[in-house]
Chain A
Amino acid sequence: MNECLQTIADYGLRSIGIGERLLPRTDFTLCQQFVLIGSGLIWNLYFVILSLAFGFVLANGLALAKASRNPWLRRPADGFIFVFRGSPLFIQFFLAYSALVLLPREGVQLLGLTLPTGWLTRAWAGALIVLTLNTAAYSAEIFHGALRNVPKGDLEAADAYGLTGWKRFRRIVWPTMMRLAWPAYTNEAIFLFHATTLVFFSAFPAIQQMGDSLYYASYFADKTFNPFVAYPIVAGYFILLTLCLIGLFGVVNRRLNRHLPGAAKRLRYRPNLFR
């Protein structure tokens, strides 16, 4: 037991570079596998939380642009969504990385300022950008579909109350759009969470062996030639966190539907695989 506490102290934050430098090499204990793989989850959570947050804002803008009558707004949004939804995330990672390493090492000169570029090729920035743009495209498609399904009656009622422009959007259209989109958006969040495991398996290198949970799991599986321990641990962690994610989105769903009689049911996650 004490030994395991020591392992937690040594490797609990290993994935962000705090603690023991060297990874265990021989005599792997179950505790080490649980701790290191759990430590890797920090990266999975980092990627999913930040890219969901940034992607959500971007997706709202894109959905409105896609629904706009102005072709100068609609066409670019359509193109962006087509490119990011039509190609594999894995290829997007590779393309982004190989483009980012082409930026000059010494930085870009802009208005007399030297902007450093090295950080863009690191996973924490580069992969985060790709994941954000990717989820923005998928979410925008979901939000756009929901926007088109906002009931006509709601808009007529808003007109009758004299609500117009921004106020009508903020108080009537947007909440309804969110309410309709939420189940599909929950699905997208889960897909995105699972997709974060791809980051360190695509082009982005894990510097000083600071990787995500799957990175450590495959490290253990490679070293022990035994896939039956490390991978089930990852799977267990992901099932738990996916359930947490569903719970969290369910709370929001209840809040979005609180005015509807009998709709305060739990959000049932039906994986309709819209991705």
Chain B
Amino acid sequence: MALPVLAGLLGTLIPALDGGFDRLAEWPGLRGAMGLSLVTGFASTGVSLALALLLTAALYGTPAFVRVQRLLAPVLSLPHAAAALGLAFLLAPSGWIARAISPWATGWTVPPDLLTLNDTGGVALILGLVVKEVPFLLLMILSALPQTDAARRMMLCRTLGYGRVRGFALTVLPALYPQLRLPVYAVLAYAMTSVETALILGPTLPPSLSAQVVLWMNAPDLQGRGLAAAGAVVQLVLVIGALLVWRAGEILCRIALPALAQSGRRGLWLDQPLAILARVMGGGLALAMAAALAGLALWSVAGPWQFPDALPDRLTLSTWSRALPDLRDSAVVTLAIAALSTLAALALVLGCLEAEHRFALHPGAGAMWLLYLPLVMPQVAFLPGVQMLALQAGLGGTVLAVALMHLVFVLPYVFLSLSAPFRAWDTRIAAAGATLGAAPARVFWRLRLPMLMAPVLTAAAVGMAVSIGQYLPTLMAGGGRVETVTTAAVALASGGNRRLIGAYGLLQIVLPALGFVLELALPALVWRNRRGMRA
């Protein structure tokens, strides 16, 4: 896994050393771009994690939490670019909110000249990232929670008179966070290096460093590539530094938590305001996403739609009828690639984890970091080098090459979502099986795998969604010849045509959403008469 990344990085470093760093140092926007990457990374990760934990702490076990769970699938499968475009239409001064209240409430007959998008502070960008990362972290929490014995811990806290949130922080969080750590790191690295969201919602004077690197890569003078390579290396160092700072923050929290426990305060008064806060913020996010999706859907069938009309003049299916033939072809290719890479990743991950269990192996921290390298490493830093490798191997431009490339990104996410529940499985069940004469293989196939069906399906759904959402790797490995729904959508997004973006955005949701619907429905169906298996 590390091999393609390191080889790719080497392929990137060489042009960077060729004067790239000197020219990067001369670029006047460097400090601003670096600062923006750091601020948006920390702010969006911090807010996302806090909100996901707060929603869990305040609402776990309530009907509201079940509703949150149901909302996860559509939001998770929404590609970043489509989500950002949906939000952009909502928030722009000529967007849906302004149209809904104009001109009767505001007097605006033309849109006001307000900087609600691409604001220099990056607030819109942070919002766009939070909207996507909260559902991802919630999914990770949901798949880890059953292994933390959360219900009994919470009950114990309650009998001791602790409030829900304080009790969650003191008893469940210490068991939950270690399983959540790597997903959080991936979120932090992603937030700092996201390209599509930053280009659509982020500031542009200058943009965040990763967005600028892609702009340099696309610069027509071929010199831009050395600059881009140098920028990518700086981005990598920045991400590693940010991860170290986050780790220091974790250690501080670990020191602070026992002190909080020893204070003995029950924190009951916190529950009501925090529950309200969780509902308001969770509801606000859900509402924003729903409105963004509805906006995309409406644009895909909109005829003429001028400001300040709240709704289009008339509806038409012409966008859809034009998009469908193209979409059918690319949907087949997209699903084939996603299925290939996800199945390969599942087989590899399950094989590794089972071997780890049978031979009592303990993967060191180094092995973990190698596995997560593709997530932490800015894509722009190593993909050009990988493209070169694929070409030399004669693999460029095929579906297989794209699936292999996707495997590099799908594997860590599958491992990420599967390893914790797999390891947390109670091995006494295996011992019981063995005493009844079952071979290890039988234990694996008949006990462990079925009992872990929910996390395996979660991992598969995440893997599919990751594969479907890939843009740069698809473009690089496919040589432009392999068109997926996402490469088509991003190419269209550069043209700003909201109607087609709406159609493609919606269809991009449908494919991965199928996976998540199965992931939520199948265990509920199979375990309908096994209460203990339902989280």
Q: Do the two shown chains form a genuine complex with each other?
A: no
B residues whose Cβ falls under 8 Å from a Cβ of A: none
